[in-house]
Amino acid sequence: IQPNMLVVRTEQPITREMRNKIASFCDVEPEAVIESLDVKTIYSIPLNVQKQNMDQIVLDHFDVQAPKADMSEWIDLEHHVQNLSRTIKIALVGKYVALQDAYISVTEALKHAGYTDDADIDLKKISAEDVTSENVE
Q: Are 92 and 125 within one domain?
A: yes
Q: pLDDT, tens digit, for every residue of 31-81?
A: 999 999 999 999 999 999 999 999 999 999 999 999 999 999 999 999 999
Structural domains of the chain, count: 2
Q: Is residue 95 part of a domain?
A: yes
**Residue ranges making up the domain that contains 19:** 6-78
Q: Are residues 16 and 73 in the same domain?
A: yes
Co-location of 17 and 60 in the same domain = yes
- What pLDDT is recorded for position 34? 98
- Give yes or no for residue 137 having a pLDDT over 80: no
Give the chain as a DSSP string. Answer: ---S-EEEEESSPPPHHHHHHHHHHHTS-GGGEEEEE--SSGGGHHHHHHHTTHHHHHHHHTT---PPP--HHHHHHHHHHHT-SEEEEEEEEETTTTSTTTTHHHHHHHHHHHHHTTEEEEEEEEEGGG--TTT--
Residue 60 within any structural domain of the chain: yes
In a domain, 124, yes or no: yes
Rounded distance, CA 18 to CA 23, Å? 8
Higher-confidence residue of 137 and 59: namely 59
Asked whether residue 58 falls in the same domain as residue 104, the answer is no
Claim to verify: residue 104 and residue 62 sit in the same structural domain: no
Please say whether the beta carbons of 107 and 86 come within 8 A. no
Q: Are residues 11 and 56 in the same domain?
A: yes
CB-based contact 6:14 (threshold 8 Å): no
Q: Residue 101 falls within a domain, yes or no?
A: yes
pLDDT, tens digit, for every residue of 6-31? 999 999 999 999 999 999 999 999 99
